[in-house]
Structure 1
Amino acid sequence: MYNSLKKVNRNSIKQEIYDQVKYSLFNNELPLNEFITEVELSNLLDVSRTPVREAMNELVLEQLMIFKPRKGYKVNTFTNHEIDQIFLLRESLEIACVPFLVEVITDKHILDLQTIIEHQSIAAEKNDYYTFMLLDKEFHTYLMEIIEFKLFLKSYNVQHDLSILIGTQGLKSQGRMLDVLDEHNKILKALSTKNTDAIITSMKSHLEKSMRAFKVK
Structure 2
Amino acid sequence: MDGERPVTEKSTTHLRTVGKREILRDRVRNALRAAIISGELTPGTVYSAPTLAAKFGVSSTPVREAMIDLVKEELVVAQPNKGFLITEVSEQDLDEVTAVRLLVEPPSVRAVVPLVPAEAFPALRELAQRIVEAAEKGDLIGYVEADRVFHLALLAHGGNRRLLDVVSSLRAQTRLLGLAPLVSKGTLVESAAEHHQLLDFVESRNAEAAELFMHRHIGHVRGIWAGGT
- Could you say whether these structures have the same fold, taking a TM-score greater than 0.5 normalized by the shorter chain as the test? yes
1:159 aligns with 2:170: yes
* DSSP-derived class of the 2:88 partner: coil
Question: Which of 13, 22, 31 matches 1:23?
Answer: 31
TM-score, length basis structure 2: 0.73
Deviation at 1:183, TM superposition (A): 1.9
Question: Which of 189, 192, 203 matches 2:203?
Answer: 192
Deviation at 1:102, TM superposition (A): 3.0
Deviation at 1:214, TM superposition (A): 1.4
* DSSP-derived class of the 2:46 partner: coil
Deviation at 1:107, TM superposition (A): 2.4
Residue 104 (structure 1) aligns with:
115
Q: Does structure 2 conserve the Cα–Cα contact (< 8 Å) formed by 1:14 and 1:55?
A: no
Deviation at 1:19, TM superposition (A): 4.6
Q: Does structure 2 conserve the Cα–Cα contact (< 8 Å) formed by 1:91 and 1:207?
A: yes
Q: Partners of 2:134 and 2:155 in 1: how far apart?
A: 23
What are the residue-to-residue correspondences of 1:4-19 with 2, within 5 Å?
Answer: 4=10, 16=24, 19=27
Q: Partners of 1:80 and 1:100 in 2: how far apart?
A: 30
1:170 aligns with 2:178: yes
Residue 131 (structure 2) aligns with:
120
Cα deviation, 1:103-134, whole Å, max 9, x if unaligned, reads: 32232233322222222222222212212221
Deviation at 1:215, TM superposition (A): 0.8
Deviation at 1:36, TM superposition (A): 4.0
1:74 aligns with 2:82: no
Number of positions where the alignment pairs a residue of Structure 1 with one of Structure 2: 210
* DSSP-derived class of the 1:66 partner: strand
What are the residue-to-residue correspondences of 1:39-118 with 2, within 5 Å?
Answer: 45=59, 47=61, 52=64, 55-67=66-78, 72-118=83-129
Q: Partners of 1:10 and 1:4 in 2: how far apart?
A: 12
Measured at CA, do residues 55 and 134 of structure 1 come closer, stay the same or move farther in structure 2, by a change above 3 Å?
A: closer
Q: Does structure 1 conserve the Cα–Cα contact (< 8 Å) formed by 2:33 and 2:172?
A: no
1:132 aligns with 2:143: yes
Deviation at 1:32, TM superposition (A): 3.3
Deviation at 1:212, TM superposition (A): 0.8
* DSSP-derived class of the 2:109 partner: helix
Q: Which runs of 5+ in 1 are unaligned?
A: none
Q: CA RMSD in A?
A: 3.5
Measured at CA, do residues 83 and 31 of structure 1 come closer, stay the same or move farther in structure 2, by a change above 3 Å?
A: closer
Amino acid at match of 1:172: A
Identical amino acids, percent of aligned pairs:
18
Question: Which of 147, 152, 155 matches 1:141?
Answer: 152
Q: Which runs of 5+ in 2 are unaligned?
A: 1-8
Q: Partners of 2:60 and 2:122 in 1: how far apart?
A: 43
TM-score, length basis structure 1: 0.76
Deviation at 1:74, TM superposition (A): 0.7
Q: Partners of 2:87 and 2:106 in 1: how far apart?
A: 27
Amino acid at match of 2:178: G
Measured at CA, do residues 35 and 210 of structure 1 come closer, stay the same or move farther in structure 2, by a change above 3 Å?
A: same
